[in-house]
A and B are shown apart, each in its own frame.
Chain A
Amino acid sequence: MITKRIIPCLDVDKGRVVKGIHFIDIKDAGDPVELAAFYDREGADEIVFLDITASHEKRGTVVDLASKTAKKVFIPYTIGGGISKIEHIREILKKGADKISINTAAVEDPSLISRAAGIFGSQCIVIAIDAKRRDKNFWEVYINGGRTPTGMDVFEWAKKIEELGAGEILLTSMDRDGTKDGYDIELTGGVTSMVNIPVIASGGAGKLEHLKDVIKYAGADAVLVASIFHYRQNTIRDAKEYLKSEGINVRL
């Protein structure tokens, strides 16, 4: 059977990994490609790069990252951050990225999802949702890196994303992101029960138990993990062995 996926996430600014990452066994721990290759060797199922470069050079740095990663990483990888044009998507995929992730541009122009899926196939179009809880049953969609509320309901948006042909949803809980209190089970469970495409849970992972909880109780197909792995609290192998012991099918 298909396995649940563990996906390390790397934030990249002007071609360098941001947030201090402590590795003793890598030559250049600031190099996103070296880190991604390390995670491939360690058993990561995929890699997500989020490019947060805020400048006009951005387009070039993202394409460059896609190209360099392709030479050293032999698992699927996704690149996201400020992607808004079909031609840009084409360039990134052509260099070897497997998927691109879109957030703000998809909200501003939902037809981008159907156009991109029509040209490149649903499987390479990931839509990222930043969600913030506003009420008991209302999570609001935010854009522009979590700065701009849209008034949109996350569950309705998720449904629409699927209808437009996206292949996957990367769902981040803004309330949990950075807290280490665990993924938002209610939010994630709400989205997985709403759509029939894979959902990657993100935001809040502080220990391995959290990975199990969101997979078991919210039906997440994959988990995005940052600090647990970056700070070597646990290795990917630790995470997989733990999940396996909990009866979850993983690639070991």
Chain B
Amino acid sequence: MYIAIINYNMGNISSVENAFKKVGADIKVTGNAKEINNAAALVLPGVGAYRDAYKNLEELGIIETLKDNMRKKIFLGICLGMQLLFEYSLENGINTGLGILKGSVEKIPSVVKVPHMGWNQLNILKKESKIFYGIEEGKNFYFVHSYHVIPQKKCIISSTADYGMEIVAGIEYENIYGFQFHPEKSSMSGLKVLENFWNMIKEGRS
């Protein structure tokens, strides 16, 4: 039983890999359809440009594999990996995403400093969510992004952060989870969230 961490050449995958190893999770870093199909859960990390990210997934030929797996397995998208779940992004034109969730990805307005970079407090809306088990209200997580998601349905927002404007920090819809912040760079609190994710997978199997 392992988590497939999708490797599609979009930055810093090793940090996500190291953090999951730190909490004792079994992982496989892969871009291979067969290994994705055999995984118990999926993580889509990612740092970089939206269009390149989608293109890289296309080139690996795993778009349909990912969509298929997301219907039945626990899925976590981190940063760009969460943004890719939505229909489109306005980063350098209109770029198609996976379209699993309704909504868009848009630039943070420049009335505030862009990128939104640094530690910000999480306002947890889905307090009963297993992913936030043991995380106290107001804990800080590390953010670094210039674009943010605007879900059509507000009920999928699991947490927000206040940056002079409200930033969607996390989403949760059935078995699909997403974080705008980087749990792999958020010290103890971030590791706790990843451990929760791993525990959910183990529980699901038992």
Contacts and interface: CB of A to CB of B under 8 A. Distances in A.
Interface of A: 1-3, 5, 40-41, 43, 45, 67, 70-71, 74-76, 93-96, 98, 120-123, 167-168, 196-198, 221-222, 251
B140 A123 contact: no
A251 B140 contact: yes
Interface stretch (B33-41, B150-158, B171-179, B183-191): B183-191
B11 A251 contact: no
29 contacts: A1-B121, A1-B162, A2-B117, A2-B118, A2-B120, A2-B143, A3-B119, A40-B187, A41-B188, A45-B119, A70-B14, A70-B15, A70-B18, A74-B18, A74-B190, A75-B187, A76-B144, A93-B11, A93-B12, A94-B12, A96-B12, A98-B15, A98-B185, A121-B47, A123-B115, A123-B145, A123-B146, A168-B117, A221-B118
Listed residue (A2, A5, A71, A120) with the most chain B CB atoms within 10 angstroms of its CB: A2
Nearest to B23: A74
B22 interface: yes
A75 B144 CA distance: 12
Contacts of B202: none
Contacts of A67: 14
B29 to A, nearest CB: 13
B113 interface: yes
Nearest to A221: B118
Contacts, number: 84
A196 B187 CA distance: 27
Contacts of B19: 74
B48 interface: yes
B131 to A, nearest CB: 17
Contacts of A168: 117
Interface in B77-121: 113, 115-121
Contact residues of A: prevailing secondary structure: loop
A45 B142 CA distance: 9
Contacts of B119: 2-3, 5, 45, 251
B51 to A, nearest CB: 13
B133 interface: no
B23 to A, nearest CB: 10
Contact of B12 (A43, A98, A251): A98
Given A3-B120, A45-B119, A121-B47, A197 B18 contact: no
Interface in B31-66: 47-49
Given A75-B142, A122-B115, A96 B120 contact: no
B187 A197 contact: no
A73 to B, nearest CB: 9
Given A74-B19, A198-B118, A3 B162 contact: no
Nearest to B142: A76
Nearest to B9: A94
B117 A198 contact: yes
Contacts of A98: 12, 15, 144, 185
A67 B11 CA distance: 14
B10 to A, nearest CB: 11
